[in-house]
Structure formats: C-alpha cells, structure tokens
Amino acid sequence: MSQSDILEGLAAILEEVAGVDPADVTADKTFIDDLDVDSLSMVEVVVAAEEKFDVKIPDEDVKSLKTVGDAVSYIQRAGVAA
C-alpha cells in the first residue's frame, strides 16, 4: 500500500472520528497540536486504522505516533511485516 493511499485512509478516519477536514491532513501535521485530536479520539483513530489497514498498533507504539507522517510510516512498515 502506498503512502498516499494510507494518508487518504487516515484523512477519512480523522474526518469521521474527530471532524478533521481531510484537506488539513498532511504528513507534517501533529495529531494533538495541529489537528486537535484528543487522547480519546486518538484511541478511536488507532482502532479504525487497525481495522482499515489490517495492522496491529500496540499501545506503547501509539505514544510515538506524533505526526500523521509517523502513522503513515508505521502502518506501511506494519503492513509489510504482516
């Protein structure tokens, strides 16, 4: 799966879960500061991403996903490993 496919998928998830405009979702945006995703919404985003991309993101790894780009890279690596 390409980075742009993952980015589009995350944008759709963020719109659904947190009401974030998909046009605002770029790799350099941080979930908390730039996109206003709170910790509860972040859990929902992670669960939706796990289902959509068929990956597992352990809680300890979620803490390291600060930007959308971090999440895209993580999902891409996890998908290759699966």
Cα–chain center distance at 9? 8
Active site residue 33: no
Spot the catalytic one: 21, 38, 54, 61: 38
Q: Which of 40, 53, 62 is nearest to 82 (CA)?
A: 53
Q: What share of the chain is helix, strand, coil (3-state, %, to 5)?
A: 65, 0, 35
Active site residue ranges = 38
